[in-house]
Amino acid sequence: MNSMNDTGFVAGPASGQTSHTHRLRGLAGTGFIATLAAMVATTLAAALAQAVGVDFEVPDGGETIPLSGFAVVTGFFSVVGIVIAVALLRWSARPAERFVWTAVSLTAISLVPPLLSGANTATTTALLGLHLVPATVMIPTLARSLRTRTD
């Protein structure tokens, strides 16, 4: 749907459609930048934990979680958070509020597996902390973006 101004030039899509598309793209762009920041912060925190002696060995299978694994998992679940934020922006009357409740609830649920893993206390504590690192980056960033995009 294009509109034409007095000079006969096409002005582009109707402003409502452009505004909505701009809001979604802005949210996605902000989310992907926050995802990169969360991946870096989580990987650095895991490296710091390893440097002070945390082995990240999980008894089921006896394997050690590599640093790259923290980055990959953080990136994946951060993108899931962006998808949830975009869906709420599209279909919710109060996307920021609903996003915060959803994200905090999912973060709380994500704390259960480290507690059940059977890993030693240092690894369990580090894993719990490492779940909170990306949450402290992603949740406020996306919530703020949802608020500014809907005003």
Residue 16 has a pLDDT of 55
Cβ neighbourhood burial of 10 (10 Å; 0-12, 13-18, 19+): exposed
Residue 10 has a pLDDT of 47
Helix axis angle for 95-110 and 121-150, nearest 10°, is: 170
Category of 5 on φ-ψ map: left (φ > 0), alpha (ψ -120 to 50) or beta: beta
Looking at the DSSP assignment, which residues form a beta bridge with residue 54? Answer: none
Per-residue DSSP letters for 92-140?
-SSHHHHHHHHHHHHHHHHTHHHHHS---HHHHHHHHHHHHHHHHHHHH
Report in angstroms the alpha-carbon separations of 139 from 11, 15, 95.
37, 29, 12
d(CA 105, CA 97): 12
Fill in the amino acid letter for 137: V
User: What is the β-pairing status of strands 63-64 and 57-58?
Assistant: antiparallel
d(CA 106, CA 135): 10
Residue 1 has a pLDDT of 47
Taking only the tens of pLDDT, the chain with its 151 residues reads 455 444 545 444 555 566 778 889 999 999 999 999 999 999 999 999 999 999 999 887 778 999 999 999 999 999 999 999 999 999 999 999 999 999 999 999 999 999 999 999 999 999 999 999 999 999 999 999 999 744 4
d(CA 77, CA 102): 13
Residue 17 has a pLDDT of 61
Is 96 within 8 Å of 146 (Cβ atoms)?
yes
